Structures are given as C-alpha cells and as structure tokens.
C-alpha cells in the first residue's frame, strides 16, 4: 500500500529553530535590544501583513515585482507579507503624526519575507533590527547621521567585534543627485541608475563628482572614536526613498567579505500618505548576516 508521506523539510529558504538555535537567536535579539535601549530607543512592532500598495508607492522595483509575497485575501484585497519595515513605520507615524512628540527614537525586530534565491547570508525569511531617528531639526544637519552610525557601531562592538573586523562605508544620495542633475540626467534616469549601480557599482567617471560629500560626517565620526568609517561612491542602496546619507557595514574577513547591513536618510516617505514630511535616519540589520559574522570571527553566539 503506497502512502504519500509529507516531507519533514521546512519551506525553502526559511529555518526551524530548535532550542539551541533559539539560544543564538535570543542572544542576537537581546544584544540588539540592550544597545538600542542604551541609546534611548523605544520598541514598537506591527503585523507582518500589509496592503501590497504600501510597497508599490515608494520602494524598490526588484522587491515589489520579483520578491514580494503577495496574495488575495477572502475579501479580494491584495495583501503582502512585509518585505521590509520602513514603509510600515512611515504608515504608523503618519497615523498619529499630530499626537506624537518628536524626535522619535524607535526600534523594532520584525520578521520580513522576500522571495530570493537562498544562499549564504540570504534567506526568504529573516528577522531584522530596525532603528530609526525621526524629527531631529537643529543647527547641525549631520547630528542624526552621527547618532545612527554611532548606534550601528556600538552594536557591532557589543557583539565583540574589533574596529579591524568591519568597515562602515558611507555615500550621499543628495550629493549624487545634485551632481547627476547638473549633468542633465532626469530624476527618472537617476533613480534607474541608482538601482543599476546598487548591483554593478558606480562608473569611475561619476565617482569623482561627489567625492568630498561625506568629509564633515567622517570627521565627526572620527572625533567620536569611530575610525573605521570611509567614503565609498559605490554605496548607493537600492530603495528609491533615500534622500541623503547612505551607508553599509562590511565584514573585512576574506572568508565573509560582504555587506552585513545598512541604512541612510529618508526625509520624504510620509508624503505618500499626504502628511507633512519628517526628517529621518535609520538602518536595518539582519539576523542571518550577523550570525555569519559572529561565526566567521569566532565570537560568542549565545
């Protein structure tokens, strides 16, 4: 008698967490929470389900068209499993824009989903620390950038990383856009170039146009003891909503020389809700790449 047995394998690209795996996951989450709250960031969260249109409004074409899990619910509404947290944050802040007291220092550890090809450092489901600083307006336009990069740096140090173990690469999308516009490129062509360069790198003849854009920020970071930050014209970030500084943190170990996480400034995301914009700087740090980093550098994982 033939009986078709169900597979014991999980869905491709996701993970089962046995007790020993949960110990590692909890260590990562606890470290994220400890440092974020030391910087006086407060935790929030939301459902993994969102209307799909939220991501089509201002996102990344590859994620929206190729990677987003989308389905119709029983009310014929198009729903998505969130591929990232930033649009949800923008929606939540827009909902209570008039009652919130700024600046906001918020963090979350959401579960996010993307239909990608599973490989080292990349799954179809992962957890991600999101930290965002919203609403700082003062006489020094880089204070928010310095704070959010300092928070990123402090998290890496809390995991036991040394300065030589990782590098913080910084660029500026506003400086890029200004330089490219001066060369006659349209806004549409600039955004298309960003998405292409995010995968392939910036052409050499373009890089020199904004080479000094991060000098002041790098100087301020160095004054705070962060010596492993540098300008890199190839750091573009694929999302259309970035409006200024962008950064990525890279592992320097030859066995894992890859981007670990990143973020930047996005000031206009609330506009899609018809709400007055709020200056914002933030980043997202995934659990998969951080775990690989810890293992590569023989650092504690629990």
Which pLDDT belongs to residue 139?
Answer: 61
Paired strand residues for 259: 250
Q: Is residue 302 part of a domain?
A: no
What does the pLDDT read at residue 241?
A: 84
* Banded pLDDT at 138 (limits 50, 70, 90): low
Read off the pTM. Answer: 0.92
**What are the two backbone dihedrals, phi and then psi, of residue 226, each rounded to the nearest 5 degrees?**
-95, 100
Residue 172 lies in a domain: yes
**Per-residue pLDDT tens over the stretch 41-84:** 999 999 999 999 998 866 556 677 789 999 999 999 999 999 99
Q: What is the pLDDT of residues 151-197, one digit of tens each?
A: 999 999 999 999 999 999 999 999 999 999 999 999 889 888 888 89
The total number of structural domains that make up the chain: 1
- What is the pLDDT of the chain when averaged over all its residues? 92
Q: Which residue has the higher pLDDT, 141 or 290?
A: 290
Q: Please report whether residue 4 resides in a domain.
A: no
Question: In terms of pLDDT, which residue wins out, 120 or 95?
Answer: 95
Is 253 part of a structural domain of the chain?
Answer: yes
Q: What is the pLDDT of residue 56?
A: 82
pLDDT in tens, 86-115: 999 999 999 999 999 999 999 999 999 999
- Output the pLDDT for position 4: 80
Domain residues for the domain of 54 are: 19-296
Is 131 within a domain?
yes
* Residue 212 included in any domain: yes
Q: What is the pLDDT of residue 59?
A: 52
Which residues are bridge partners to 261 per DSSP?
Answer: 249, 285
CATH number for 229 = 3.30.930.10
The pLDDT score that the predictor gives to residue 64 is 72
Q: How far apart are CA 217 and CA 281, in angstroms?
A: 14
Query: By C-alpha distance, which of 70, 108, 72 is closest to 88?
Result: 108
Does 125 have pLDDT greater than 60?
Answer: yes
Token pair 């007055």 is at which residue? Answer: 276
Please name the residues in contact with 36: beta carbons below 8 A apart, sequence gap of 6 or more: 43, 107, 129, 131, 151, 155
Give the model's pLDDT for residue 62: 62
The confidence band for 254, taking pLDDT boundaries of 50, 70 and 90, is very high
- What is the distance of C-alpha 33 from the center of its chain? 17
pLDDT of the residue at 137 = 72
Q: Does residue 3 lie in a domain region? A: no
**pLDDT interval class at 240 (50, 70, 90):** confident
User: Is residue 43 situated within a structural domain?
Assistant: yes
Residue 200 pLDDT: 86
């Amino acid at each position: 008698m033939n009986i078709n047995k169900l597979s014991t394998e999980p869905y491709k690209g996701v993970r089962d967490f046995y007790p020993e795996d949960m110990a590692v996951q909890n260590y990562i989450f606890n470290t994220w929470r400890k440092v974020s709250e030391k910087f006086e960031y407060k935790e929030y969260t939301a459902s993994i389900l969102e209307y799909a249109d939220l991501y089509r409004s201002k996102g990344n074409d590859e994620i929206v068209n190729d990677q987003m899990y989308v389905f119709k619910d029983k009310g014929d509404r198009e729903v998505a499993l969130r591929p990232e947290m930033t649009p949800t944050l923008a929606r939540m802040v827009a909902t209570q824009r008039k009652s919130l007291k700024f600046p906001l220092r918020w963090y979350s550890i959401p579960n996010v989903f993307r239909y990608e090809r599973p490989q080292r450092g990349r799954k179809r489901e992962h957890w991600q620390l999101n930290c965002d600083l919203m609403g700082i307006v003062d006489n020094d336009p880089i204070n928010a950038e310095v704070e959010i990069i300092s928070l990123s740096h402090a998290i890496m140090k809390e995991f036991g990383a040394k300065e030589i173990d990782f590098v913080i690469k910084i660029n500026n999308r506003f400086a890029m856009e200004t330089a490219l516009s001066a060369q006659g490129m349209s806004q549409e062509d600039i955004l298309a170039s960003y998405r292409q360069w995010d995968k392939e790198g910036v052409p050499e003849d373009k890089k020199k146009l904004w080479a000094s854009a991060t000098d002041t920020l790098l100087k301020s970071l160095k004054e705070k003891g962060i010596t492993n930050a540098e300008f890199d014209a190839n750091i573009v970030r694929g999302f259309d909503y970035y409006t200024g500084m962008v950064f990525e943190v890279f592992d320097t170990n030859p066995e894992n020389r890859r981007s670990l996480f990143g973020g930047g400034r996005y000031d206009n995301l609330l506009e899609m809700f018809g709400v007055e914009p709020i200056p914002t700087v933030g980043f997202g740090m995934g659990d998969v790449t951080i775990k690989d980093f810890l293992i590569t550098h023989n650092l504690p994982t629990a």
